[in-house]
Structure 1
Amino acid sequence: MTETYDGIIIGSGQHGLVLGSYLAKQGLKIAVLERRMMFGGGLSTIQPGPPGFYQNPHSINHFNLTETPWYKDLGLSAKVKYATPRYDFAQPHADGTSLVFSRDAEETIASIGRFSQKDAEVFRDWNKRADAISNAIFLPERFSEPLPEAERTALLETSKLGRDFLEIIEHQPIDLMNNLFENERVRLLMLFKLSLFGTVLYDAVSERSPMGAALRGFDLAAGYQVAVGGSWNLARGLMETFIAAGGTFINHAQVDRIVVDNNRATGVELADGRRLRARQFVASTIDVPQTFNRLVGLDQLPSDYQEKVKKFKQTAWTLFGLHLALKEEPSYIGADFDPNINRALKYNIGCESVDELFELHSQVAAGRVPDPLSFGTGHITQFDPSQAPDGQATAYAWLAMPYAPGGAPENVESMKEEITDKIMDKWREYAPNLTPDNVLHKYVHTAHDYSRDITNMVEGDIFMASFAGDQTMWNHFGYRTPIEGLYMAGSPTHPGGAISGGGGYISAKVIAEDLGLTPWWTPVDARSALESIRD
């Protein structure tokens, strides 16, 4: 017997669960399908080593999540708690100094001032503008369909705040940082911070960003948060919400084909032969290559859309992840200079100049493992002690890598031990207490591992789409497709990858209104937000 639903959603990651929860609460009969047994996608928390040490191999911390509209609309605060670190970013230096960015503007300005008073005043000025822009422009645009470029520009030009934003997006971040700041270490931590906000390593700092990537360097009002108990708790909270609203979750349901009749999506066929019918829509939250090349077939798309699919850009690098179970948390050099160095969420380790940052990119782009190593680290158990046994800790490091070092992705297998040892040696230079007797267990998670487990992450693409250029704005892959009743609702849509829930949230409004339904929630409206800005 063919099972019938109002809507079928492919993929049970953040976007599928957000979308499913909204539409199930709308009163629609919704099924969320998952190829694997477990839901959550990149929202995973595991115990790969000693009991009680929890590691988050994919998504580790989430940007400003408790302020997202869907966290509020779906009442997730009752199910999923978040810790908000006071200190976001830190950079210990080999000479014993350190630079620390706080959510408190005066603390950040004081830290910068120890390296350059001029840079501190520049940051003060730009921070005031960035915080205002973030609240009035960036966050509304993040959770609304992108406006046409000409209309958006016209609206922004009507206010000083909007004109400030246009000034930011017209600059390449690297040029902006070089022009604004005189101190090398200040420029470096700003660029390191930018490279983490859901943007590719090189494009984050070298391409004009229509979303205003440079804004993230100055904004302190919004920052990263940690899901208490592990990132999977967010997936759990979303699934509980979806099920409570009447949704149906079907695991071990690998979609083999999206059924298209007379240019309309009418259901899916599963690899085990089952066929599920969709009365109203099918939504894919998985990647572009699988959705259009395999599940739909390029021959069912108009020629211009076929070309768009063929030109789709993946993220040009992957990650080598090292996760540690520790007797005690890392203690960084530079604490005598600034004791807050040991209170931060994320650290820039090993890279002490902008040239070194770009050399890292060059080596990765050439398909080589970076040498010498520089990488990011963090330890979240200081903000959420529940993720390790009492008094102990976890920590992690991430190294940018090519997907296929030496020409083949499996080559990383023979390199794991050597790369791990090099990371530990370099890390220990900046955190001397990471001695062998402090490290209880090491867990390595590479692109070769995660791209086989989570097949959306094609060629190790953790974002499921490049953030380069306008692919997250006017040339993104959401939300309607040329096939009637088929929607894209995941990370290849605006606002892109990382844990934002934006693609699922925005798609819920698009689908509800296409079905002639009045959303039960109040959707974010970028047009109204920009129109409301006054000097």
Structure 2
Amino acid sequence: MKNFKRSSSWLATLPKNFQGSNPAKPLISAPDELKRKKYDALVVGAGHNGLIAATYLAKKGKKVAVIEKRHMIGGAAVTEELLPGFHFSRASYLMALLRPEIIQELDLVKHGLKWFVREPHAFTPLRDDDRFLLLGSDAKANCDSIAQFSKKDAKIYDQYNNEMEKLADAITHLMTAMPPDERSRLGENIKTGKQMYKMGRELDWDFSLLHKVATAPMSKILDQWFDSEPLKACLATDAVIGAMLSPHTPGSGYVLLHHVMGGVEGHKGAWAYVEGGMGGVSLAIAKALKEAGGDIYTETPVSSINVSNGKANSLTLHDGSIVSASKILANTTPKVTYEHLMSEKDLPSGFLSDIKGIDYTSPVTKLNIAVDKLPSFKCTPHSGNTPGPHHFTTIHMNCESMAEIDRAYMECATTGRPSRNPIIEMTIPSVLDKTLAPEGSHTIGLFTQYSPITFDGKKWTDEQRENYTERLFSVIEDYAPGFKDSVLGVDVLTPQDIEEQIGLTGGNIFHGAMGLDQLFIGRPGYRSPISGLYLCGSGAHPGGGVMGLPGKHAALAALAD
């Protein structure tokens, strides 16, 4: 590690591939096997949803191939060795939303999926105070931590959690239902309606409260519950994470429920690190697919989805060759699927204008950092290589009040520039997963907001990336002095980089913003308006996160047809 000397440029400390190029091998021609075999279904894109869709089809006896343009599978759920010995979940970084029924139905544990449940869950240090907020599954510990700021809040926190969990259960049932669409069979639509009504009666949902939380600004809900700003800000981060929203934005409450509904091993709201990084999720699904008889082809970009007589029936590959199948499933975003891979003449009149109206605005810049020691926070000093409880959590910085989060949002929204005081969520997966970094060293992820896909309307320059990185590190230094000196290397992914390198339109991690107008039937359907073509990525209901439901539902729709 001594070969990587620090300089005034953070990015200059790294080999070229650490800065995100990771070029694939030169593309010569599509694999002969792909052109020779006959398939029932072809899946465009090997993100986790595409792999899941393909596996469900293959397990029903269909001959399926997944076709991926990158040199690796997984889409945003990937692990990359960006520095020798350092393995990073380069884009998505935590598991909680992956549906337990998918894990079970695809035997993902048998195929190598392992995870580490984090406990505690959240840590909010204060910049100029010896106090800090630490939250987890221990009710008494939570009460003691919150009581530093408000004894009243400490007494009612469990009640708040219980109410949110009930609402999250309602959202879970909404998400796992197949939303009706005009091409669904009548029986499917009736079944969905009956299931929702039955579940609502059995679970005694409070629909008025669900509507209130899902549509209100989360700040309004939190202000009605609590007095303590550190507590409200900590909870509010789940209402804005990955979304170009403020806690004061109507509908931010739904984003919180979208995240709270997750859990691991029966622990509501708990998130886990996947062993070996998030690529472990994609690898396990790929193994299940291979066992079921499916094929995967990497470094094989698709140029177009072809339509004949109103039916999608083939793909044109990068070398001009054509492969055919009776079903085409696209794991790409709606914009890429319908605007880039298809001809406008093949789509119904007016449909493309709706697709062009989808909001992909993203506020996220992700950083992957190699360090040679754990950060030591002023409010809870630490030395040595044994992690403290707070190192297992998501660490919130510049999130000490909802007003602070709102200021960061407003600055970006009104100037077209990254916030000068961005909110930061830090995770250190190597404290639980020893496979990720050399002994004594660690991998750190920073999920930061707010930064736009362009800087003053233009592409980000390397200098602007470095300045933003320097600003982030200065913020962390305020909380944890000595952090800068521990840094060995940095990988920076602005929304622009996420779009170009990972393939997410706008850099949006949800394949489309999660505003109220783009949820449930407001998202493009699994069934496209073209017979034989299905959308299996997160652009369809229920949206983003490593959840797997869009892939499963698209496969079920294709099988039903």
Q: Supply the distance in 1 between the matched residues of 2:46 and 2:259 (Cα, whole angstroms).
A: 29
Residue 347 of structure 1: aligned partner? 395
Q: Supply the distance in 1 between the matched residues of 2:43 and 2:533 (Cα, whole angstroms).
A: 10
Q: TM-score, normalised by structure 1?
A: 0.87
8 Å contact from structure 1 (residues 191, 217) kept in 2: no
Report the alpha carbon displacement of residue 492 of structure 1 after superposing the two structures with TM.
0.2
Q: Which of the residues 314, 317, 323 maps onto 2:368?
A: 323
Point out where structure 2 has 5 or more consecutive residues left out of the alignment: 1-34, 181-188
Report the alpha carbon displacement of residue 481 of structure 1 after superposing the two structures with TM.
1.1
Residue 528 of structure 1: aligned partner? none
State how 1:154-303 maps to structure 2 within 5 Å. 158=201, 160-163=204-207, 164-196=209-241, 199-202=242-245, 206-208=249-251, 213-214=256-257, 216=259, 221-279=268-326, 281-303=327-349
- Is 1:73 equivalent to 2:105 in the alignment? yes
Residue 524 of structure 1: aligned partner? none
Residue 534 of structure 2: aligned partner? 487
- Is 1:92 equivalent to 2:125 in the alignment? yes
Q: Supply the distance in 1 between the matched residues of 2:319 and 2:259 (Cα, whole angstroms).
A: 46
8 Å contact from structure 2 (residues 240, 256) kept in 1: no
Q: Supply the distance in 1 between the matched residues of 2:428 and 2:243 (Cα, whole angstroms).
A: 23
8 Å contact from structure 1 (residues 326, 393) kept in 2: yes
Q: 1:178 to 1:14 in 2, by over 3 A?
A: same
Deviations 1:113-165 (A, max 9, x none): 2211222233221212333443x433333333136898788667646334343
8 Å contact from structure 1 (residues 253, 270) kept in 2: yes
Residue 410 of structure 2: aligned partner? 362
Query: Which deviates the most, 36-45 or 22-31?
Result: 36-45
RMSD, aligned CA? 2.6
Query: Which deviates the most, 149-158 or 400-409?
Result: 149-158
Q: Supply the distance in 1 between the matched residues of 2:133 and 2:378 (Cα, whole angstroms).
A: 11
- Is 1:137 equivalent to 2:170 in the alignment? yes
Report the alpha carbon displacement of residue 413 of structure 1 after superposing the two structures with TM.
1.8
Instruction: Report the secondary structure of 1:479's partner residue.
Output: coil
Q: How many residues align?
A: 503
Report the alpha carbon displacement of residue 450 of structure 1 after superposing the two structures with TM.
3.1
State how 1:493-512 maps to structure 2 within 5 Å. 493-512=540-559
Instruction: Report the secondary structure of 1:129's partner residue.
Output: helix
Q: What is the letter of the counterpart of residue 238 of structure 1?
A: I
- Is 1:472 equivalent to 2:516 in the alignment? no
Q: Which of the residues 361, 365, 390 maps onto 2:439?
A: 390
Q: Supply the distance in 2 between the matched residues of 1:316 and 1:443 (Cα, whole angstroms).
A: 19
8 Å contact from structure 2 (residues 363, 452) kept in 1: yes
Query: Which deviates the most, 53-62 or 205-214?
Result: 205-214
Report the alpha carbon displacement of residue 209 of structure 1 after superposing the two structures with TM.
6.2
Q: 1:434 to 1:60 in 2, by over 3 A?
A: same
8 Å contact from structure 2 (residues 392, 431) kept in 1: no
Q: Supply the distance in 2 between the matched residues of 1:239 and 1:214 (Cα, whole angstroms).
A: 30
State how 1:394-413 maps to structure 2 within 5 Å. 394-400=443-449, 401-409=451-459, 411-413=460-462
Point out where structure 1 has 5 or more consecutive residues left out of the alignment: 515-535
8 Å contact from structure 2 (residues 118, 271) kept in 1: yes
Query: Which deviates the most, 298-307 or 91-100?
Result: 298-307
Q: Which of the residues 130, 148, 168 maps onto 1:114?
A: 148
Report the alpha carbon displacement of residue 297 of structure 1 after superposing the two structures with TM.
2.3
- Is 1:63 equivalent to 2:96 in the alignment? yes
Q: 1:33 to 1:205 in 2, by over 3 A?
A: farther
Deviations 1:77-100 (A, max 9, x none): 121100110122111002121111
Q: Which of the residues 2, 13, 17 maps onto 2:51?
A: 17
Query: Which deviates the most, 30-39 or 415-424?
Result: 415-424
8 Å contact from structure 2 (residues 117, 271) kept in 1: yes
Q: Supply the distance in 2 between the matched residues of 1:99 and 1:19 (Cα, whole angstroms).
A: 41
8 Å contact from structure 2 (residues 236, 256) kept in 1: no
8 Å contact from structure 1 (residues 126, 218) kept in 2: no
Deviations 1:488-514 (A, max 9, x none): 110101111121112101212222222
Q: Supply the distance in 1 between the matched residues of 2:95 and 2:258 (Cα, whole angstroms).
A: 18
Q: What is the letter of the counterpart of residue 93 of structure 2?
A: I
Q: 1:26 to 1:204 in 2, by over 3 A?
A: farther
Q: 1:331 to 1:285 in 2, by over 3 A?
A: same
Query: Which deviates the most, 505-514 or 7-16?
Result: 505-514
Q: What is the letter of the counterpart of residue 157 of structure 2?
A: F
Q: 1:290 to 1:442 in 2, by over 3 A?
A: closer
Q: What is the letter of the counterpart of residue 78 of structure 2?
A: S
Q: Supply the distance in 1 between the matched residues of 2:258 and 2:228 (Cα, whole angstroms).
A: 19
Q: Supply the distance in 1 between the matched residues of 2:119 and 2:68 (Cα, whole angstroms).
A: 37
Report the alpha carbon displacement of residue 172 of structure 1 after superposing the two structures with TM.
2.6
Report the alpha carbon displacement of residue 245 of structure 1 after superposing the two structures with TM.
0.8
Residue 497 of structure 2: aligned partner? 449
Instruction: Report the secondary structure of 2:352's partner residue.
Output: helix
Q: 1:133 to 1:117 in 2, by over 3 A?
A: same
Q: 1:335 to 1:477 in 2, by over 3 A?
A: same
